[in-house]
Amino acid sequence: MAVFLFDKIIFGPVTSRRLGVSLGINLLPIDSKLCNFNCIYCECGWTPKHKHKSKFHSRKLVSSKLEAKLKEMYENKEALDVITYAGNGEPTMHKEFAGVIDDTISLRNKYFPKVRIAVLSNATLIHKPSVIEALRKIDDNILKIDSAFDETIQILNQPIGVYKLKNIIESLNGFDNNLIIQTMFLRGNYNGNYIDNTTKKEIDAWFEIVKKINPPMLMIYTIARDTPTDGLEKITYKELKQIASRVEKLNIKVQISV
């Protein structure tokens, strides 16, 4: 199926189904995905198996592009809710990620002091002190946990390298509850396997992890765009609402996106 890559460093603003009016920042190459996950549902397609020659956009270039866009929006009195790090892969892989976040905070305070800063991350690098320190400075740490089972994650997210969910959960304690857990729910066939992270077994185990982390907010969603493989199915709003209702009994806010 057709997928797409973000072809700019700064994109938008766009109206995000989860975040509002969002100005996106892509630290990754514009001609290829660069990630340590290879999710079977990723709108950016498959992660190339070869080592990509393109480099991350430099801290200086990102800061320059961001300031130019924020200045333009400020002068035009455009609305903005959030500055969001997303793009063609995993943003925390950038070697100067902490410095990039510091620059973003400074520019946000200069032009749009009430605007939030968000990072969409697969949480694989939150064990690194520089990454967790940077993320603790921002408003919306949106961190992915798609299943409570490592074996499901191996099929659904296909981590590149060692991945242990237990270690991820332990690292989440470093956020002092300043985090949002994001989960993609889907079902379907992939590579001879039937995947469904909405079964009772999956939801029960996922629910226990949610209780343990106790985030102030959850984002649960399903497929909205094309995926790199056929055979995957959206989860209905009714099903997501049932999952949300269970979590809301823990006094955790849940945002549903379909």
DSSP 128: S
pLDDT at 245 over 80: yes
Work out the average pLDDT over 229-243: 96
Work out the average pLDDT over 70-74: 97
pLDDT tens digits for range 83-116: 999 989 999 999 999 999 999 999 999 999 999 9
Selection from 182, 98, 95, 186 nearest residue 135 by Cα: 98
49 pLDDT tier (thresholds 50, 70, 90): confident
238 pLDDT tier (thresholds 50, 70, 90): very high
Instruction: Give residue 200's pLDDT.
Output: 97
Q: How many CA atoms lie within 13 A of 174 on its CB side?
A: 20
Distances (CA, A) of 78 to 19, 39, 255: 16, 34, 26
Lowest mean per-residue pLDDT among 29-33, 147-151, 154-158:
29-33
Sheet holding 187-190, edge to edge: 193-196, 187-190, 232-233
Contact 40, 155 (CB under 8 A): yes
pLDDT tens digits for range 193-215: 899 999 999 999 999 999 999 99
Instruction: Give residue 5's pLDDT.
Output: 77
Q: Which domains does the chain have, with CATH numbers?
A: 10-257 (3.20.20.70)
pTM equals 0.91
State both tokens at 155.
Answer: 């099929």
Instruction: Give residue 176's pLDDT.
Output: 87
69 CB-near residues (< 8 Å, 6+ apart) = 10, 23
State both tokens at 247.
Answer: 């979590």
pLDDT at 50 over 70: no
53 pLDDT tier (thresholds 50, 70, 90): low
pLDDT tens digits for range 153-177: 999 999 998 899 999 999 998 898 8
Percent of the chain exceeding pLDDT 70 equals 97
54 pLDDT tier (thresholds 50, 70, 90): low
pLDDT at 39 over 60: yes
Q: How far is CA 104 from the centre of its chain?
A: 18
CA dihedral 130, 135, 138, 139 (to 10 degrees): -170
Q: Which residues pair with 256 in a beta bridge?
A: 220
pLDDT at 22 over 80: yes
Percent of the chain exceeding pLDDT 90 equals 81
136 phi and psi angles, rounded to 5 deg? -70, -15
Contact 222, 21 (CB under 8 A): no
